[in-house]
């Protein structure tokens, strides 16, 4: 292969690597957001929720229930690992989230 083609391939590989790193970083941020939202919904007391925020909370619960079990678990672990350390994550995930039964409000 000519030197120029090798150089172009190397540049493409570098660009792809940078893009992958950016996407993985973005995924981690989104997992933390989803984890925080899931923990919020799990602890939400719908009886004390103001009427004007009820619909937004219901949308949030519906969107969280659309996540795959793996993604939901990863998102909760991302939040818990940040707060308490990775070793204790599994024991602190609420049972209704573990079983993918986040209540619709």
Q: For CA atoms 31, 61, 38, 93, give the dihedral sign.
A: negative
pLDDT over 50 (residue 97) = no
Domain spans in the chain, listed from the N-terminal domain onward: 3-98
How far from chain centre, in Å, is Cα 85?
Answer: 17
Global pTM value: 0.67
Collect contacts of 97-100 with beta carbons under 8 A, ≥24 apart: 97/38, 97/39, 97/42, 97/72, 98/73, 100/65, 100/69, 100/72
pLDDT digits (tens, 9 = 90+) for 47-58: 888 888 888 888
């Amino acid at each position: 292969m000519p030197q120029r083609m090798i150089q172009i391939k190397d540049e493409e590989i570098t660009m792809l690597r940078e893009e992958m790193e950016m996407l993985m970083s973005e995924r981690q941020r989104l997992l933390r957001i989803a984890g925080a939202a899931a923990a919020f919904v799990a602890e939400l007391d719908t009886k004390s929720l103001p009427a004007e925020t009820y619909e937004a909370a219901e949308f949030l619960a519906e969107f969280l229930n659309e996540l795959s079990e793996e993604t939901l678990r990863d998102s909760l672990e991302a939040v818990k690992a940040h707060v308490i350390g990775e070793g204790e994550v599994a024991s602190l995930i609420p049972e209704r989230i573990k079983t993918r039964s986040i209540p619709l409000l």
